[in-house]
Chain A
């Protein structure tokens, strides 16, 4: 298994500002993922954070809005830029580890944009 520390756990932000979410893993992992979970909904993949190269974004998500850093094999950040109320959601960091490459998740960041 992998232990993932994600912070902040929650934040309330003003429209037009940006928030950077940090994700720290207790072991080196090749793949890290960022998900969004809107209220009462399932998990939607934003992007795959690749160490040493640019992140791979899913349809509907762009680098200018969600820039991602992956400086090493244990750490990644996701920035939510120029926020609007529609960005209010839970953002989750995840890593693939172990047999079967099951995903392990951080505790999430509850973001509210006013």
Chain B
């Protein structure tokens, strides 16, 4: 289940399940959105991006959904694996060349 701790929200899932990580963004002018994965001891890695003229984009085992009406972004990971355990950040860009990062969600995959 999903819980909000003192720091990062945490999502715990069983291996093989699908995971959905959510992100609410604040700037209605944002037109480009990115998901990053950060494993322990590493820098964030690009996963997938989507522009505001789309509402869905699929990658390998990952899908990003964008709902501009409610300013909501989600990352779906199919058949979650232990290697997917990491912190996931959404980022938004609009106007500025610098993205704004969300708070992050810690995904824990139990074998």
Q: B-contacting residues of A (Cβ < 8 Å)?
A: 1, 4, 6, 31, 33, 39-43, 45, 48, 92, 94, 96, 100-108, 110
Contact = CB atoms under 8 A, between A and B. Distances in A.
Contacts, number: 53
A92 to B, nearest CB: 5
Nearest to A106: B43
B76 to A, nearest CB: 20
Contacts of A104: 46
Contacts of A4: 43
Tell me whether chain A's interface is mostly helix, strand or loop, or mixed: strand
Interface residues of B, number: 24
Contacts of B42: 107-108
B92 interface: no
Nearest to A45: B98
B85 to A, nearest CB: 16
A39 B7 contact: yes
Contact of B49 (A39, A102, A107): A102
Interface stretch (B12-20, B64-72, B100-108): B100-108
Contacts of B32: 100
Contacts of B102: 42
Given A107-B41, A108-B41, A108-B43, 11 more contacts: A4-B43, A6-B43, A40-B7, A43-B44, A94-B43, A100-B51, A101-B97, A102-B49, A103-B46, A103-B99, A107-B42
Contact of A105 (B8, B43, B104): B43
